[in-house]
């Protein structure tokens, strides 16, 4: 836990260090101007916005099905979770019920992308302490996840998976095989990574007691996700406001005690194990049925029907040209993203595009606490704290 924060006095001279927007260790472009007393950080002033792409303004000019490509680029380490969250928001607005099979498929994809996101964060924490091996080993397995996404939707990173109303196609046999191979081989490699790093003397000395925050301050700062669970608060959107059939699965929520870097690392590691278990349960209990809801007004019909049937052609035209009726109203839906509660506040005025779309981005909200977390710490601890918070620049600036 942090010692009491240092006091800035008039007698001492402090140096200013610019942890500038381009820096190898910041894993993203944001700037911190640090006031230092030797190696100890007295104060920090963050500047963000170096990758502000005005998502919220763009969303007001794109039809609903085109906004999915924007959500891809929010937390780009786990794009499918953002896609699914957006689809569920629109489905809530339209009042569409999704069949169980499509929901289970969505759960598998979301948990795979959660594993991908946590692999990046955990291996990068290890790299920042000097342990490059974990990064090299586990990224091989991240390639397997990318191959699964490629089988399902055609893209590796910015996936645009699923459609409003379900999934665009059923998983092919190859996709099922790849998922099974992943589930068979990955746990052993994750165990190997765990053994290398988890009880490693150097790693523990570098990360325990570093960059801690108490549960009360974390809640006041709006923390959610693994960073909040590391402080001991058991808030997980999948359990508190279950969506997409998460109530059918059994999984535990790992909690930390001190809220320091080691706890954040361990919470993410344990969440990966829980995700593997959820995917196994979903595969075992996979129901039969359709992979999309029967809403021809919002779900594009398959191309063979569009070319052969009049009805399908008309629906296709109406959806693409924006002639379908979208209800007026506002809705807020949140999902458990890789970093916490990713919320979508959608205001619709019946038009083709959203009237107002606001993304509640967890990274943006909890990064405010960074100056408080690093006061009184050494510079190398500040770097570790930043990488353990998993700040993704796309989600920070939107």
Partner 1 sequence: MEKEALLTLVHQQLSEKFKEEIISAEMAKDFPVFTVKKEKIQEIFQFLYETKDLEFTFLTDLCGVHYPNNKSRELGVVYHLHNMQKNYRIRIKTFTSISDTSVPTMTKLFSSANWMERETYDFYGIDFKGHPDLRRILNVDDMVIFPLRKEYPLEDPTREDKNDAMFGR
Partner 2 sequence: MSTATVKSNIEITKAPPGIEGPGFFATSIDKVVGMARKNSIWPLPFATSCCGIEFMATMGAHYDLGRFGAERLSFSPRQADLLMVMGTIAKKMGPVLRQVYEQMAEPRWVLSMGACASSGGIFDTYSVLQGIDRIIPVDVYIPGCPPRPEQVLDGILKIQELIQNESIRRRDTDEYKALLAKYNME
Q: Which of 150, 194 has the CB closer to partner 2?
A: 150
Q: How far is CA 361 from CA 55, 118, 123, 222, 273, in A?
A: 12, 17, 23, 11, 25
DSSP 6: P
Minimum distance of partner 1 from residue 61's CB (angstroms): 5
Minimum distance of partner 2 from residue 82's CB (angstroms): 12
Q: Give the H or E element holding residue 332.
A: strand 328-336
Minimum distance of partner 1 from residue 220's CB (angstroms): 5
- Which of partner 2, partner 1, none interacts with 345 (beta carbon under 5 to 8 A by kind)? partner 1
Binding residues for partner 1, per CB under 8 A? 48-49, 52, 54, 56-58, 60-61, 92-93, 217, 219-222, 233, 235, 240-241, 329-332, 334, 341, 343, 345, 347, 356, 358, 360, 364-365, 367-369, 397-398
Question: Residue 273 and residue 190: Cα distance in Å, rounded?
Answer: 9
Query: Facing residues of 36 across strands?
Result: 15, 41
Residue 334: phi, psi to the nearest 5?
-130, 150
Residue 46: phi, psi to the nearest 5?
-85, 145
Question: Residue 354 and residue 257: Cα distance in Å, rounded?
Answer: 42
Residue length, the chain? 398
- Enumerate residues 6+ apart whose C-beta is below 8 A from 223: 213, 231, 340, 365, 366, 369
- Which of partner 2, partner 1, none interacts with 378 (beta carbon under 5 to 8 A by kind)? none
3-class secondary structure, 25? coil
Q: Residue 162: name the closest of 302, 301, 58, 68 by CA.
A: 68
Q: Which of 94, 112 has the CB closer to partner 2?
A: 112
Q: Give the H or E element holding residue 237.
A: helix 237-240
Part of the chain binding partner 2 (CB under 8 A), chosen from 6-14, 154-162, 176-184, 336-344 = 154-162
Minimum distance of partner 2 from residue 49's CB (angstroms): 6
Question: Residue 344 and residue 333: Cα distance in Å, rounded?
Answer: 5
Question: Residue 180 and residue 286: Cα distance in Å, rounded?
Answer: 14
Q: Which of 139, 307 has the CB closer to partner 2?
A: 139
Confirm or reject binding of residue 130 to partner 2 (CB under 8 A): no
Q: Which of 28, 354 has the CB closer to partner 2?
A: 28
Q: Residue 29 in contact with residue 393, Cβ under 8 Å?
A: yes
Contact string (CB under 8 A) for partner 2, positions 44-83, x = contact: -----xxxxxx--xx----------xx-xx--xx------
- Which of partner 2, partner 1, none interacts with 156 (beta carbon under 5 to 8 A by kind)? partner 2
Q: Residue 194: name the closest of 102, 301, 272 by CA.
A: 272
Minimum distance of partner 1 from residue 16's CB (angstroms): 18
- Which of partner 2, partner 1, none interacts with 39 (beta carbon under 5 to 8 A by kind)? none
Minimum distance of partner 2 from residue 48's CB (angstroms): 9
Q: Residue 359 in contact with residue 343, Cβ under 8 Å?
A: yes
Part of the chain binding partner 2 (CB under 8 A), chosen from 100-108, 138-146, 227-235, 383-391 = 138-146
Minimum distance of partner 1 from residue 49's CB (angstroms): 4
- Which of partner 2, partner 1, none interacts with 380 (beta carbon under 5 to 8 A by kind)? none
Binding residues for partner 2, total number by CB under 8 A: 34
Residues that bind partner 2 (CB under 8 A): 20-24, 28-29, 49-54, 57-58, 69-70, 72-73, 76-77, 120, 136, 139-140, 142-143, 146, 156-158, 393-394, 397
């Amino acid at each position: 836990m942090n010692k009491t924060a240092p006091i800035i006095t008039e007698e001492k001279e402090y140096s200013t260090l610019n942890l500038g927007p381009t820096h190898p260790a910041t894993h993203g472009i944001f700037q911190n101007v640090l006031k230092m007393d030797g190696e100890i950080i007295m104060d920090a002033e963050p500047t963000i916005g170096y990758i502000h792409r005005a998502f919220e303004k763009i969303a007001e000019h794109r039809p609903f099905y085109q906004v999915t490509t924007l959500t891809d680029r929010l937390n780009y380490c786990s794009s499918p979770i953002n896609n699914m969250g957006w689809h569920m928001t629109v489905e809530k607005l339209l009042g569409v019920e999704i069949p169980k099979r499509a929901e289970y498929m969505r759960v598998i994809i979301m948990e795979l992308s959660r594993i991908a996101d946590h692999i990046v964060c955990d291996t990068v924490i290890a790299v920042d302490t000097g342990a490059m091996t974990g990064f090299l080993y586990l990224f091989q397995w991240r390639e397997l996840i990318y191959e699964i996404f490629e089988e399902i939707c055609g893209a590796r990173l910015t996936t645009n998976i699923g459609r409003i109303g379900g999934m665009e196609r059923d998983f092919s046999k190859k996709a099922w095989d790849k998922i099974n191979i992943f589930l068979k081989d990955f746990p052993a490699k994750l165990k190997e990574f765990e053994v290398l790093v988890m009880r490693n003397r150097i790693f523990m000395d570098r990360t325990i007691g570093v960059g801690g925050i108490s549960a009360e301050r974390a809640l006041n700062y709006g923390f959610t996700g693994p960073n909040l669970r590391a402080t001991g608060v058991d808030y997980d959107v999948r359990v508190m406001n279950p969506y997409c059939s998460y109530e059918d699965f059994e999984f535990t929520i790992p909690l930390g005690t001190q809220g320091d870097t080691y706890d954040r690392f361990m919470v993410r590691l344990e969440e990966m194990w829980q995700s593997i278990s959820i995917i196994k349960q979903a595969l075992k209990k996979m129901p039969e049925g359709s992979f999309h809801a029967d809403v021809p007004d919002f779900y594009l019909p398959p191309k063979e029907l569009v070319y052969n049937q009049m009805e399908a052609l008309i629906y296709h035209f109406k959806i693409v040209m924006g002639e379908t009726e979208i209800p007026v109203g506002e809705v807020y839906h949140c999902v458990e993203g890789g970093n916490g509660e990713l919320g979508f506040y959608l205001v619709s005025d019946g038009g083709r595009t959203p009237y107002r779309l606001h993304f509640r981005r967890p990274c943006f909200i909890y990064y405010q606490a960074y100056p408080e977390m690093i006061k009184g710490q050494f510079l190398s601890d500040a770097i570790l704290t930043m990488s353990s918070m998993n700040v993704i620049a796309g989600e920070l600036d939107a």
